Amino acid sequence: MKRMILFLLMIGLSANAHFLTFLSNTDNVSTKDESNISFDISFIHPFEQSGMTMEKPKLFINSLDKTLPLTQTKKLEHKAWKAEYKIKMPGVNKLFVQPQPYFEPAEEKFISHVPKLIISSFGLEDGWDEPIGLKYEIIPMTKPFGLYSGNLFQGKVLHDGKPAINVEVEVELYNEFGLKAPSDAHITQVVKTDDNGVFSFVMNHKGWWGFAALIEEGEIKHSDGKSYPIENGALIWVKAY
């Protein structure tokens, strides 16, 4: 019976990819009236719109040193977080979230996904393709703001600053449109990086798209006394219009 329960759980997990979701009210600031940016941070299944509890993370902007304050909120009936920031200067702002590792009992591993969000302001777009310097990071090869549905998005996955070859990248739409997938297999799309660490995906619908490159590395000791592997995720969220 225990084996059957675990099997059923794993079937569910295969159709329910975990995404640390990091969204803003805009990805492109043109006027001062648009310069007050709000951020939503949650741990959810974005296509199916089902949530999980997220303990307090850290939100960084433009460097590994500067953080923004967070306020607790609720998303899909679970603990989530929000923040605000006023953009005052032209330029490209790069933000990322460092979560507390989440233990997934059914998969017997910790999940530590670090999502990145890039916002341009007042017409200055230089530097959107430059890395922040994270251990696991997706560098956009396509300008990550001003995208249309139907555009091809490309990104390069870096691991310790080097291209990550043959790595799976899970892709999901933040489904605020009530779309229904033809089957469970259609919920999470999967592509792989090539010999240069680059992946490609055509965004076939408007909305926020999450790209999660998954690299299993390291272990964390659990409260049960055992050590479990860590699924490290390099994420980026981009919006198609």
Query: Which residue bears the tokens 């300008």?
Result: 143
Phi, psi of 73 (to 5 degrees): -145, -170
In the chain, domain spans: 2-240
- CA 46 to CA 52: how far, in whole Å? 11
pLDDT digits (tens), the chain, 241 positions: 444 444 334 444 444 688 999 999 999 999 999 999 999 999 999 999 999 999 999 999 998 889 999 999 999 999 999 999 999 999 999 999 999 999 999 899 999 999 999 999 999 999 999 999 999 999 999 999 999 999 999 999 999 999 999 999 999 999 999 999 999 999 999 999 999 999 999 999 999 999 999 999 999 999 999 999 999 999 999 999 9
SS3 content of the chain, % helix, strand, coil (to 5): 10, 50, 40
pLDDT tens-place string over residues 157-195: 999 999 999 999 999 999 999 999 999 999 999 999 999
| pLDDT reported for residue 194 | 98
Burial of 79 from C-beta contacts in 10 A (0-12 / 13-18 / 19+):
middle
- CA 202 to CA 179: how far, in whole Å? 17
